Structure formats: structure tokens, C-alpha cells
Amino acid sequence: MNISRFTTLFVLCLSLSVAALGQSASAPGLPAQAALSNSAAHGSAAADQPSEPKLERFDPNLVDKDLDPCNDFYKYSCSKWMAANPIPPDQAVWDTGSGLQVWNETVLRETLETASTNDPKRDAVHQKIGDYWAACMDESGINASGLKPVQPELDRIATLKSKNDITLEIVRLHHMFPGAWQGDDNQTNAPLFGFSGGQDFDDASKVVAQIDQGGISLPSRDYYLKTDDKSVELFKKYRAHVEKMLVLSGEPAPRAAADAATIVELETALANAQMDNVKRRDPKNLNNKMTLAQVKALMPSINWDEYLAAAKAPASEHYLVSSPDFFRAEEKLLAERPLADWQAYLRWQVVHRASPYLSKSFADENWNFFAHTLAGAEQQQPRWRRCVRAADRDLGEALGQAYVDRAFPPESKARTIQMVHSIETALTSDIQGLSWMSPATKEQAVIKLKGIEDKIGYPSHWRDYSNVKITRDSYLNNVGQATSLEYERWVAKIGKPVDRSEWTMTPPTINAYYDPQLNTINFPAGILQPPFFDPTKDDAVNYGAIGMVIGHEIIHGFDDQGRKFDAHGNLRDWWTAEDGKQYDERGKCISDEYTQDVPEAGQGVKQNGLLTQGEDTADNGGIRLALYALETALKQQGKSLDDKGDDGWTYRQRFFLSNAYSWCANVRPQIARLIVTSNPHSLPVFRIDNVMSNMPEFQQAFGCKAGQRMVRANACRVW
Ligand SMILES: [Zn+2]
């Protein structure tokens, strides 16, 4: 229910991508790496060795001058790159950031390998990351142990005496598996429910207990409920996958078939009861305060005293229950369905969640459904990449320190901070100049903008992992140790003052986020690299790429969701009624525009502009702020946007070309479908063509005229 998880830059943070590509689901608190985007292994020969990673850098010679920029700017800017960069077989998406992903992972791999030498003089941090790496890379040992690492869990589930025993099994799952206690990013898939500490909506200075809907295993409820042919086909394949996993876990085939039927039926009932993604975008719908007595009455089949004690949860002023209707339906199911059904569900949860850390047959079958069938990848990623990302997820702030030393010099930080300040100044001017906003709301908006805290590169102090026990003996056990501590760390925040220094992304992450309840923007060192930030390039290129990203994150504070929070992160309406109405009209223009057919994702697949409205608003406003800031920077150098640089392009043209280049991507239709149906971000092509066709500033750059495709008759503008 951490709302900040909805306001990132990339679809890549969609942790399903990580699960999909054979790695586990998302991090406890730390969104896992952007697994979707790349691989070093273009061929099987290089299967487990990193090839020389290649960083992409903007080059205006890549445009296809045979095409018309006013017809399709994405194709004009990207088609040559796309033709030269086919998707590697182990990837679902390959984009201009993919080389950077491999580069970042290679840096982390070197750190991990050095730390894994078993040198008795290693310090405690290097012992942990080194032994974590060694245990993960020990593929033959993992294969030899087969089902053994989870056998005790399966045995205990088999001997449950009554439904009263379910509570303690759920709390065990929440401790053991990444993503199990709060759901993976953008997904509501914690076993039965999610539980964590989080900021209160009405008083952001307080941390309270949050209980969120859960229960499903597919990326969103739609996967269970849609009845078109393709959805029905995917659902059948999902059921077959559940059955295969149960057979692998030792069930005889007929029983596995019956259990799989039960499991998908339970999950479908839970999916049906879940609040949908669009409703969840409005924080008011999640802000349901309850006393503990009310929680107990809502769901008496869970023994809440037992759960809270096992989670070591401090008393909470109140409990935020995201969707009471969901819990009513889940309670009914728990009461009606026999213990045996829930034992099947728990067994599935164990093998499903453990599979990335078990022997090849489990990892392969998990990959086969989530990466191949759902996302379209043709082969598994090399093990080293999976292990690097798992280490980043589980021990990211230990591993990230060496990355920062190597890849993020103080000059990069200084130049980024300067860009952030100039983009914030651009938004101040933009707000002052808005014709539709009253002075009273403008004053409030500027207060909120001035209240944004900029976090650049890495946290001010590093997390302490001294209580995480890591050995070389068991990969699964290491994952469980890290998860357990992370889960309890979040739960322990309940009742304590908010820690404003916390980051929810690790330093090497290629992503960025705005946190509406802390009112912070966060740019990990991992994205402050080429092609997004390139110290060797001029301002036009950098404002076009990372400048737009900075603007995007700042605008999240003022999108249809972010605008509901004030400078202190409280859910409070600071808008006059008339200005709120004006905002909604402009927002509706965006959501109508992006409610569009997406043939590249399959026949009949349609984007829901209400789901992507916040991201689309941030894209549209962010690029404009970056352009204004560039204009100011050029003015200080005695230049203007329409002056030509050495290469014959104007700065304005270079700005838009660099922006488009940073989004060039080849995307498999399977993952396109997954993104369109369940992710709040638009596909890359729309992040260029829709945005720029709304902008007179773009049309001026390339001399586009009314009637051309890149000149939208009903152009939208919020910021
Ligand atoms: Zn975003």
C-alpha cells in the first residue's frame, strides 16, 4: 500500500519483470532491479560470462532522415537503433538503457566476486555479500539439494490440524519470501494479505500498521476475470503451470490436477473481491482506519493477536485497511472452504515463491510460465545476472557503496543537483504563469514545490545489515534471512517517527521515484549514467534525457494523485474547488487521449488512460520543464534554443532527439500486453509520440504543420 511505488519512472520497476525472468519477485521494501531490459548474453557461448558491456550514447546520426519527423517522431528517432538492436533471446524488452543495466550489473559482479574469495581478513560486510554470491552461484549444489530446502515447510503444512493453524503459516511465508509480506511492486499478491508499517495518510509524521489486499499470483486481477480468447488461453496455461509445480513438489499427478483446480478457483475468488488498480490510484479509497477490534471482527478467521506477535508488531494507533470489501470476501472463503483447500494453496505458495532459489527443474518451470508465456522471453538469463540482482535486492545498500565509489563521482552529483534546481525553478515560473489557476492555489503549489527534498545518488547513511546471517550453505536460507529482517524492520517502524532518510531503491537501480508522503524526489546513481546522464555531452542532450526524468518525478507531486498530498505529505486538499475542477478537466484530456488501442500488444488490447494518467501527466509536464530549464541554461551562455550547434541541429532539435533516443525500445508483444493490461506506465512509443504531439514547442523544432500526425488537434496540457 506504499503509494510511492506507483510513481516511478519505468515500467521496469514492475517486479513481475524480475519474477518473469527467472529471478524472484520484488524486494522487501526495495523494488528489484530493472530486469526486463537487457542481457549481456547474446549467444549461448557467453552463457555465464559477462561480455564487454556497451554503454549507449546519444548520436544524432542515428535518425532516419528518410522518414518524416512530423509523421512519427518515435520511428524517425528510433527505427535505425531498433533495427540494429534486436531483442536478445533471454529478454522481453531491449532498450537504449539495456547496455547500462548490463554495465551496472557487471560492476556489481566484480564487487561480489572479489568479496567471495573467502579471505579470512574480509570485513563483515564483504563476508555477507561474498557468501551470498557464492551460495547463489553454486548451481550444482542447489541442483543436488532438489526439494530439500523447502521440505520442512511442506511437511508442516501437511500436518496442520485445523484452520486455526493457517495464521502462523501465513506469517511464516511473510518472513521467508521476498514480496510475500507486502506484495510485489504494483501487485497485490501477498499470500492472503500484506502487512507492513507505513505513513498515515492524514498525518504523514506517523507510521501506522497497514493491511493490504492480496492472495493472487498473476500480475493483476484482470488475468483471472477477463473472458476474451487470449485471456482464457493464458489462464489455462497458468493452471497447467500450477499443476506442474505441484507435481515437482512431490504430489501424484491426479492430486496435483485437483489441487491446481482448487488453487486457481480460490485465487479467482480473491481476484474478484480485490479493489481494481484504477480505484487504488485514489488514496482516499485506501484510507480506511480501523481499530484492532474492528480488524478482528472483519476477519475472525485470522488470529490477529498471533499474527502481530509473530511479526513483532508494536501497537498501532489505528490500522489502515486498504479494501474492507476484499477482506469480507476473503473471510467468507476462509470460513467456507475446508482446511484441505487452504493446505493446497499454502503448498503452492511455498513452491511458487521458492522456485527461483531451488533446483533447475523448479526455476525452469517458473521461468517457462512467467518469463516465456507471460513476457515472451525465449531463453533464461545467465545465472550470474540473476544472482547479481538478488544480491542487490537483499543486500543492496552494502553492495551499492562500491558501485557509488566506482561510478558516481562528485562532479556527476554536482551537475545533477544543478539541473534539479533549474528544473524546480522552471516549475515555479510555470505555476506563476498558469492562466487557469487562482493566486490562492498557486501560493500553495509553490509551498509544496519548495518543500520537495532532492535525494541524489545514494542515501546519506547506509543501512546496517549486521543482524542478517548469511552463509555459503543455502541460497534459499540467505534469501529468507534477508527477507525476514527486512520485513521486521518495516513492521518495527509502527508507532515510531518517520525516517525521512530512507530510500526504497538501491544505488545501482536504473529508475527514479517521487514519494508523495515524504515529498521527496529520488535519483539513484544507477540512472545518472549514459544514455540518461552523460557528462561528456552538452546541456541539450542531458536536459532532453535525464532532465525530462527529473521533470517527470517533480510533476508526480502535482499529478492527479500527487496533487492530493500537501508539502508535508498529508492527504489534504489544498486546492480551491474551482481550481480542482479546472485541473480535472485538463487531467481528463490526458486520460482520454491515452485510452487508446495498442495493436502491438495484441488484437483488441486497449490502454486504460485512467490507470496511466499520473505517469502520462508526469511525462507531458516533465519534458516541458526540462525544455524551459535548457532555455535558461542556453541564455546564460548567450545562446538560444533555435541556434544551431556544430553538428547542424538546433539545440531544440537535439533536446527532442535525445529525449526520444533515451526511450528507443524493442518490446515483445507478450510483455507489451502485460504492461498495457497491468502497469501504470505507457509503452515507450507513446511516451514519445503522444507527448510530443501535444507540444507546440516540438512542432516548432521540426516545422510540423496542422493536420500532420505529430500535431494533435486536441492537444492536452496540464503543466
Ligand atoms: Zn513516474
Residue that the C-alpha cell 532539435 belongs to = 653
CA of 340 to the centre of ligand 1 (A): 43
For residue 123, the CA-to-ligand 1 centroid distance in Å is 38
Q: Ligand 1 mean position to 614 CA, how many Å?
A: 7
Measure 429 CA to ligand 1 centroid, in angstroms. Answer: 22
CA of 222 to the centre of ligand 1 (A): 22
How far, in Å, is the centroid of ligand 1 from the Cα of 114?
Answer: 36
pLDDT in tens, 49-94: 555 588 999 999 999 999 999 999 999 999 999 999 999 999 999 9
**CA separation for the pair 281, 397 (Å, rounded):** 30
HEC assignment per residue over 259-318: HHHHHHHHHHHHHHHCCCHHHHCCHHHHCCEECHHHHHHHCCCCCHHHHHHHCCCCCCCC
Angle at 522 between CA 517 and CA 528, to 5 degrees: 170
Q: Measured in angstroms, how far is the CA atom of residue 565 from the centroid of ligand 1?
A: 16
Give me ligand 1 centre to Cα 514, in Å.
7
CA 590 – ligand 1 centroid, Å: 15
| Residue 121 CA to ligand 1 centre (angstroms) | 44
CA of 295 to the centre of ligand 1 (A): 33
How many Å lie between the centroid of ligand 1 and the Cα of residue 685? Answer: 16
Position of cell 519477485? 25
* 556 CA from centroid of ligand 1 (Å): 7
Does the structure show a pLDDT above 50 at 24? no
pLDDT tens-digit map of 397-452:
999 999 999 999 999 999 999 999 999 999 999 999 999 999 999 999 999 999 99
Residue 522 scores a pLDDT above 70: yes
Gap from CA of 78 to ligand 1 centroid (Å): 22
* 259 Cα–ligand 1 center, Å: 40
Res. 8 pLDDT band, cuts 50 70 90:
low
CA of 293 to the centre of ligand 1 (A): 37
563 CA → ligand 1 middle, Å: 14
Judged by DSSP in three states, 513 sits in strand
Q: How far apart are the CA of 420 and the centre of ligand 1, in A? A: 16
- Vertex 394 angle, CA 392 and 396, to 5°: 40
**259-289 pLDDT per residue, tens:** 999 999 999 999 999 999 999 999 999 999 9
| Distance from Cα 34 to the centre of ligand 1, integer Å | 14
Q: What is the pLDDT of residue 11?
A: 56
Question: Grid coordinates in use for 448?
Answer: 509544496
Residue 672 has pLDDT above 80, yes or no: yes
CA of 575 to the centre of ligand 1 (A): 22
How many CA atoms lie less than 13 Å away from 530 in the CB half-sphere? 14
Mean pLDDT of 168-196: 95
Q: Are strands 93-95 and 520-524 parallel, antiparallel or unpaired?
A: unpaired
Q: How far is the CA of 618 from the centre of ligand 1 (A)?
A: 6
Q: Could you read off the pLDDT of 196-227 as tens digits, one per residue?
A: 999 999 999 999 999 999 999 999 999 999 99
Task: Quote the ligand 1 centre to 615 CA distance (angstroms).
Answer: 5
pLDDT value at residue 15: 33
> Looking at the predicted structure, is the pLDDT value of residue 118 above 90?
no
Grid coordinates standing for 670? 507478450
Query: How many helical (H) and strand (E) elements, i.e. helices and strands, does the chain have?
Result: 29, 9
Alpha carbon of 339 to ligand 1 centroid (Å)? 42
pLDDT tens digits, one per residue of 342-379: 999 999 999 999 999 999 999 999 999 999 999 999 99
CA of 558 relative to ligand 1 center, distance in Å: 11
pTM of the predicted protein model: 0.94
Q: Using the mean position of ligand 1's atoms as its centre, give its distance from the Cα of residue 436 in Å.
A: 24
| Ligand 1: centre distance to CA 689 (Å) | 17
Distance 2 CA to ligand 1 centre (A): 15
Ligand 1 midpoint to CA 551 (Å): 10
Question: What separation in Å is there between the alpha carbon of 9 and the centre of ligand 1?
Answer: 4
Going from the Cα of 204 to the center of ligand 1, the distance in angstroms, rounded, reads: 21
Measure 548 CA to ligand 1 centroid, in angstroms.
Answer: 11
* Distance of CA 185 from the midpoint of ligand 1 (Å): 13
Q: Ligand 1 is a single-atom ion; what residues have CB below 5 A from it?
A: 9, 615, 618
- CB 556 within 8 Å of CB 569: no
Share of the chain above pLDDT 90, in %: 91
Ligand 1 center from residue 619 Cα (angstroms): 8
Alpha carbons 286 and 293: distance in angstroms, whole number:
19
At residue 39, does pLDDT exceed 50? Answer: no
Q: What is the DSSP string of 77-118?
A: HHHHHHHHSPPPTT-SEEETTHHHHHHHHHHHHHHHHHHTT-
